[in-house]
Structure 1
């Protein structure tokens, strides 16, 4: 089957992604209530009992809101680095020791042929990470919640078949928006979020001949629009001489309130 995935929800109101192979079903982040998570999973034919583990990127509430309740209800193992565990412990309630797994940043967990590898990102959290999922043939990379794309990020996600990439805000909309300046400054900083413009430059830096699709993720409800993100990223790609036919659907959307269709990571 290769690797398939669905972004259940993406944005400041909650984040969660399912990654699945014949051998494992993984949940990345649980940033919505357990009830909401189960409803979104049901739309894609997945139940809590199907999950083999939850991987946490960082401790912000839009990534862990339902973590404790969902993990306890379905008796699931939870994977995070040590600093993230320390930061999220007070927010998620009791998780049994035998269900707590520490994965150092840069470490790998294997589920049969599926390898889950974390990598460091720049964000205002204890020790935030992104994740790459790969088997012998395919690679999916989740690249969100980062202020800039570092060389470490580039090395981690190189040769991805599919990327889920942050395109959080339009800089002009954010600057003119209702947020207080200290929050705007945080979002715009190197430990904040990628703008549409930064996402466009990142696509140009990260894509290779192997890259088939990019999903634009973690869009701000207040300071972005789905079509604006797509047009901005596509325009920057064209400025770099990268052109795609309209029917190729190289750039795809994610949503804050509904899951994306299943997408299977396969060779062309």
Structure 2
């Protein structure tokens, strides 16, 4: 086992990702019930007691729903910044003081040879963050729940070997959807979620010769479809001069109800 990850689930119904190397297993977010998390992890051969740390991006329920139950059951240390701890306190229940790890936004920390860098993102939460993972010169970036990709975010996640990027909604589907207008306005705002077209435009600046794969993530069940997201993102890329042979097509899917295959970051 080298440096690998699997997106256990991604979307408004719940988010969780496992990042793993030969010595450490990290769970990023726990937005499904503890029982469902265990079920999805078993599909990828990971047991709850193997998780060494649980990292939190922000306090919305689709990212912390099962956090308390999972952390207590497996005695896992939970990493989050101080504002996120304060915002999620009443939602996650009692977490032992020695298991509450406060990490400042922008700080880096390590688990053996794996280094993690948190970075600030634009979303309507207390102090939301994304995470970049580094191992042996390779880089994995997780970037969802973005109202927009700021210059600071761009500098943080560019030159990733593998990038998990939000492609949340199709604006026309959202505007015609059943949500009340105040919710639609929030999603479309700079503290909401990234549209398919915005994801494509960001990728035009983010993809480099180093980029091997991009996973489109956090798709809305009501206002998007994976085929549409891939078509839109690819159209934007093609308009900017990016053309890929099918064998080297970089866009990958995530799912709200099942995990992605393990992705070995070092695999060519």
Q: 1:136 deviation in Å?
A: 2.6
| C-alpha RMSD of matched pairs (Å) | 0.8
Q: What's 1:181 paired with?
A: 181
Q: 1:158 deviation in Å?
A: 1.7
Q: Give CA deviations for 1:185-209 in whole Å, capped at 9, x if unaligned.
A: 0000000000000000011111111
Q: Give CA deviations for 1:141-172 in whole Å, capped at 9, x if unaligned.
A: 00000100011111111210000000000011
Q: Give CA deviations for 1:226-261 in whole Å, capped at 9, x if unaligned.
A: 000000000000000011111223100100000000
8 Å contact from structure 1 (residues 2, 138) kept in 2: no
Distance 1:195 1:209 in 2: 24
Gaps of 5+ in 1: none
Q: What's 2:41 paired with?
A: 41
Q: What's 2:263 paired with?
A: 263
Q: 1:267 deviation in Å?
A: 5.8
Specify the SS of the correspondent of 2:159.
coil
Q: What's 2:129 paired with?
A: 129
8 Å contact from structure 1 (residues 138, 267) kept in 2: no
Specify the SS of the correspondent of 1:210.
coil
Q: Give CA deviations for 1:46-77 in whole Å, capped at 9, x if unaligned.
A: 01111010000000000000000000000000
Distance 2:267 2:151 in 1: 26
The range that moved more, 107-116 or 182-191, is: 107-116
Q: Give CA deviations for 1:67-118 in whole Å, capped at 9, x if unaligned.
A: 0000000000000000000000010000000000000001111011100110
Distance 1:91 1:103 in 2: 19
TM-score (norm: length of structure 1): 0.99
Q: How does 1:197-236 map to 2 (within 5 A)?
A: 197-236=197-236
Q: Give CA deviations for 1:11-44 in whole Å, capped at 9, x if unaligned.
A: 0100000000012100000000000000000000
Instruction: State whether structure 2 residue 62 is matched by structure 1 residue 62.
Output: yes
Q: What's 1:87 paired with?
A: 87
Specify the SS of the correspondent of 2:264.
strand
Distance 1:116 1:51 in 2: 16
Question: Which aligned segments of 4 or more residues in structure 1 are displaced greater than 2 angstroms?
Answer: none
Specify the SS of the correspondent of 1:164.
strand
